């Protein structure tokens, strides 16, 4: 690793750390000796990077220091491209457009010797064909951001249609189709709704009467309780094989 790259990585380690980082811990992560870390810290401090600490105790990066934008490694660029490829094949039109713009912005500031990462990426995503939806993903995302209730008619796996008012909190993306995790006023519980089974929907002007972070915490606690009850592992991510609503 070039010294300039290593200095950047030292700052990144300190920026992520929740407590003082020892030279030994940084040396282990960067696969160098502690003496090299001591020299790097001294160099950064001489360049007025606001690092506090001392050898044998640990170092912290003072709040308010900002890294230059988009100083990405090759792996980070590939991760961004792979994520954008997934969104381009599975997201709604708004997200697909955003993914294209994201990659264009990253390419515009990336060093010239990394152009091959964009013209011939090492990763790829298989195309899929999501089912038709009456309620678009962009509308669901907007309702979640604005904390608006949604009234919908929903057909379950037995073809029984019910009318619900839900408090949407997460839109889970799968390879084909999407799932809304929400509080259901009819069931008075958290439920999942497959978007292709929504036969009619309306975004209401009425606001969800609970802060989003509190609602999400309650949902995660409910999922954890359900996992313990059935004693089977299950992700709290709505996109991971979530069951149909009941």
**Which domain CATH number covers 148?**
2.30.30
The answer to whether residue 159 scores a pLDDT higher than 80 is yes
Q: Is residue 130 part of a domain?
A: no
Residues 141, 105 share a domain: no
Q: Is residue 245 part of a domain?
A: no
Q: What is the CATH number for 20?
A: 1.10.10.10
List, in sequence order, the alpha helices (H) in 47-186: 74-90, 93-109, 116-119, 137-146
**Which range scores top for mean pLDDT: 99-108, 134-143, 172-181, 209-218?**
209-218
Residues 218, 150 share a domain: yes
Q: Is residue 160 part of a domain?
A: yes
Residues 103, 54 share a domain: no
Domain extent for 52: 3-61
Q: Is residue 204 part of a domain?
A: yes
Residues 113, 57 share a domain: no
Q: Which residues of 160-181 are buried (b: 16+ CB within 10 A; e: fewer)?
A: eeeebbbbbbbbbbbeebbbbb
pTM of the model: 0.65
Residues 12, 41 share a domain: yes
**CA distances to 22, 38, 58, 62, 135 from 17, in Å:** 11, 17, 11, 11, 42
Tens of pLDDT, residues 189-204 = 999 999 999 999 999 9
Torsion on CA atoms 230, 231, 234, 235, rounded to nearest 10: 110
- Total domains present in the chain: 3
Q: Is residue 235 part of a domain?
A: no
Query: 152 near 145, Cβ under 8 Å?
Result: no
Burial class from Cβ neighbours inside 10 Å (0-12, 13-18, 19+) for residue 4 reads: exposed
Q: Is residue 148 part of a domain?
A: yes
**Which range scores top for mean pLDDT: 112-116, 144-148, 232-236?**
144-148
Residues 187, 149 share a domain: yes
């Amino acid at each position: 690793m070039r010294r300039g790259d290593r200095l950047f990585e030292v700052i990144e380690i300190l920026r992520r750390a929740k407590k003082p980082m020892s030279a030994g811990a940084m040396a282990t992560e960067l696969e160098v000796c502690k003496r090299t870390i001591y020299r790097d810290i001294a160099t950064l401090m001489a360049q007025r990077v606001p690092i506090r600490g001392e050898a044998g105790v640990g170092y912290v990066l003072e709040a308010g220091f900002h890294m230059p934008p988009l100083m990405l490694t090759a792996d980070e660029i590939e991760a961004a491209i792979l994520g954008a490829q997934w969104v381009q094949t599975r997201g709604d039109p708004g997200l697909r457009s955003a993914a294209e713009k994201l990659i264009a912005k990253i390419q515009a500031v990336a060093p010239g010797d990394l152009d091959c990462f964009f013209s011939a990426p090492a990763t790829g995503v298989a195309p899929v064909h999501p089912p038709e939806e009456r309620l678009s993903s962009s509308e669901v995302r907007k309702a979640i951001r604005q904390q608006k209730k949604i009234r919908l008619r929903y057909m379950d796996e037995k073809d029984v249609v019910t009318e619900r008012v839900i408090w949407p909190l997460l839109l889970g993306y799968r390879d084909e189709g999407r799932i809304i995790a929400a509080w259901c006023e009819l069931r008075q519980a958290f439920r999942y709704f497959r978007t292709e089974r929504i036969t009619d929907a309306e975004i209401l002007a009425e606001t969800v009467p609970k802060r989003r972070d509190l609602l999400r915490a309650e949902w995660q606690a409910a999922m954890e309780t359900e996992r313990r009850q059935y004693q089977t592992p299950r992700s709290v991510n709505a996109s991971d094989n979530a069951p149909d609503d009941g």
